[in-house]
Structure 1
Amino acid sequence: MNFTQLHCFVKAVDNSSFTIAAEALNFTQPAVSKNIKDLENELEVTLINRGHHRISLTNAGKYFYKVARNVVDDMDYASEYLKSQKNKVGDLIRIGFSNTPLEQRLMPLVLQKLHQADSKLEIQLVDILTNTVSVLLNHRVDVCVISRDSIDVVGDVKFETLIPGGFVVACPAGSPLSEQEKITLADLKDQKLFMFDPNNSFSFQMQNSLIAQIGLEHIRFVQDFFTMGIYVKANFGLGILPNFIADFENKDVVYVPLDYAGIPPYGLAYIGSVAKDVDISKIIQVFKDAIKATVNN
């Protein structure tokens, strides 16, 4: 006994016709007849009385139809459910972000792609600027975009790289350094520089090493990238910041790579247990696709 035999039997009874059952199942009429006959042979009973124009059930057929109907319905439901789950990302995904210029371009595309992958997925955005690690450990977010050095000390957090890290120098458009392909530490000698305050959430470990080489006398610290951009646009000095924070769409500022050892990458952080609730592999792929589109544009 197999599901095809049960399906043929139920369809034939429902439609009182082998021919109509065959059309509904996309079978030939002889194939439907054979499946039902094989089912009867296996059960060693006659299930259907064959008439010239209509078919009817025997007493055994009436009993077996109830059983077969339940099995077919359960199998159809299971099949439809599994198909609906095939592209399901999850019920809810909470994404932590810091609202940097890159993320302002990235996140709308991420949301669009997640919605395309699973239209029923509920998505919540959470600002993690001041407490990046705690929101992960306290399960306030499922994933967050972040610099890896922010979570390196936490063993339970997994990390997927989206952008290799590197410093860039923010130069006023049209300034001599803005025309260079790369800027060296020697180029920065005697320049007024703006960097992020080591006490804020963008205090990268590699930045501390860079500060030591440049010297504090040339550096003025700012709290955020917006303030840095204002100073640079006003030609008050140059900004030094990670490439994954820079606002490359700003036409008044040119970001030139700094010839300096790479910094920790920017990527997607999450706790392993989140994979129980969402398809983390699909989410990672969505972010990678969105990063490619964002960077290329």
Structure 2
Amino acid sequence: MNFTQLRCFIKAVDNSSFTLAARELNFTQPAISKNIRDLENELEITLIIREHHRITLTKGGRYFYKIARNMVDDMDNTTEFLKSQKGRIGSSLRIGVCEIPLEEEILPAVLRKLRAYDSNLDIQFINVEETSISEILNHHVDICLVSYDTVAAIQNIQFVKLITGKFLVACPVNSALSKQQMITLSDLQKQRVFLFDPNSTLNFKTQNDLISGIGVKHIKFVRDFFKMKLYVKAGWGYGVIPNFAKDYDKTAIKYVTLDYPAISPYGIAYINSSVQDMDVAKVINTFKRVCVHVLE
């Protein structure tokens, strides 16, 4: 039994004619007759009584017509649904963010591209500062923008790198260190330095070595980038930040590379079970293309 046989049977019954059924299905009349005959042979029952210029359903035919109609309708509806999903990302996308400047820079372009793929996609943003791991594991977010060090210890979490990490020094414009091509730890040892709080999402495993190299008595910890930016703009000192946390408004701050080994990259974290209904590959590729453009 196949759907061609079922469609031939249904169309013949609906039109009370093999000829009209053949016309609707773009078949020949003998083809309609053969498909119905093969169906009857397989079922070992007569479905249609063939009379001159008319057809009549047997009792078994009437029962089977209802079953066949439901089967074909279900298949047609399923096919239409699957076609409608082609090119879609999913019904919704919850993105965990740390509210750093890079996110503000890239997310508008990401949103435009994702909506171009899927105009019905609902996108929500959830602040995951200090709670990124629990938000991912508890399925409160589908993907999360974080540094790798934040999620590295959790086996179930997948991570895709967007940006290679390095430290920058946020300098007040026209300050002494802002004129250098590169800044060393020794340059910072006599300066007031702002670092992210060790408990923040932007904390790094290498930060302890950084603290030792600068000297803890010169360091003030801040909870977020906004506060650090205010201190630096006010000329109170220098901020050491990952490159993906720099502000793209360079009017009051100049960023100089710190002579220091590479740090944890920044990217997308997720667990497989949270994205079963989402085209995560398309989402990740969209973020990658936007990041490449922004960093050019």
With normalisation by structure 1, the TM-score equals 0.79
1:212 Cα shift? 0.9
Q: Which runs of 5+ in 1 are unaligned?
A: none
**Helix, strand or coil at the partner of 1:145:** strand
Which secondary structure does the structure 2 equivalent of 1:247 belong to?
coil
Unmatched segments (≥5 aa) in structure 2 = none
| Post-superposition offset of 1:245 | 1.0
- The alpha carbon displacement at 1:108 in A equals 3.4
Query: 1:196, 1:202 within 8 Å by CA — same for their partners in 2?
Result: yes
- How far is 1:271 from its partner? 2.9
What is the aligned partner in structure 2 of residue 280 from structure 1? 280
Alpha-carbon contact 2:93-2:124 (below 8 Å) kept = yes
What's the counterpart of residue 190 of structure 2?
A: 190
Q: How much is the aligned-residue C-alpha RMSD, in angstroms?
A: 3.4
Question: Taking every aligned residue pair, what percent have the same amino acid on both sides?
Answer: 47
Q: Would the alpha carbon gap of residues 6 and 32 (structure 1) be closer, same or farther in structure 2, given more than 3 Å must change?
A: farther
Equivalent position amino acid for 2:250 in 1: N
Q: How does 1:12-91 map to 2 (within 5 A)?
A: 14=14, 27=26, 31-42=27-38, 43=40, 47=48, 56-60=54-58, 63=62, 65-91=65-91
CA contact (8 A) 1:4 1:35 kept: no
1:206 aligns with 2:206: yes
Q: Verify the 8 A CA contact 1:8 1:32 in the aligned structure 2.
A: no
CA distance in 1, matches of 2:20, 2:180: 76
Query: Is 1:154 paired with 2:154?
Result: yes
Q: 1:14 to 1:101 in 2, by over 3 A?
A: same
After superposition, the C-alpha distances for 1:162-210 in whole angstroms (9 at most, x for unaligned) are 2111111112345565455543335445344322233444332212211
CA distance in 2 between counterparts of 1:247 and 1:32 reads 71
What residue is the counterpart of 1:252 in the other structure? 252
2: CA distance, partners of 1:195 / 1:118 = 40
Residue in 2 that maps onto 1:224:
224
Does residue 164 of structure 1 match 2:164? Answer: yes
Query: In structure 1, how many angstroms separate the alpha carbons of the residues matched to 2:267 and 2:247?
Result: 17
CA–CA distance in 1 between the matches of 2:130 and 2:162?
A: 21
The letter of the residue matching 2:264 is P
1:57-77 CA distance string (max 9 Å, x none): 333596365444333212211
Task: Report the AA paired with residue 211 of structure 1.
Answer: I
CA contact (8 A) 1:160 1:267 kept: yes
SS of alignment partner, residue 58 of structure 1: strand
Residue 57 of structure 2 aligns with an amino acid whose one-letter code is N
Letter in 2 for 1:99: E
Q: How far off its partner does 1:153 sit?
A: 2.5
Q: Distance in 1 between matches of 2:174 and 2:257?
A: 16
Residue-by-residue CA offset, 1:192-231 (whole Å, 9 max, x unaligned): 4322233444332212211211222433333321222223
Distance in 2, matches of 1:201 and 1:40, equals 67
Task: Note the alpha carbon deviations across 1:246-296, whole angstroms, 9 max, x for none.
Answer: 112333222222221111111122233213454433333343334334434
Provide the aligned length of Structure 1 versus Structure 2: 289
Shift of 1:146: 1.0
Quote the Cα distance in structure 1 between the aligned partners of 2:287 and 2:236: 36
Q: TM-score normalized by structure 2?
A: 0.79
Change (3 A) 1:261 1:206: same
SS of equivalent to 1:281? helix
Spell out, residue by residue over 1:71-130, the C-alpha distance to the aligned partner (whole angstroms, 9 max, x if none).
321221121122234444444433221111111233334444444444444433221113
The answer (yes or no) to whether the contact 2:49–2:57 under 8 Å persists in 1 is no
Out of 135-144 and 15-24, give the one that drifted further. 15-24
CA distance in 1, matches of 2:181, 2:12: 75
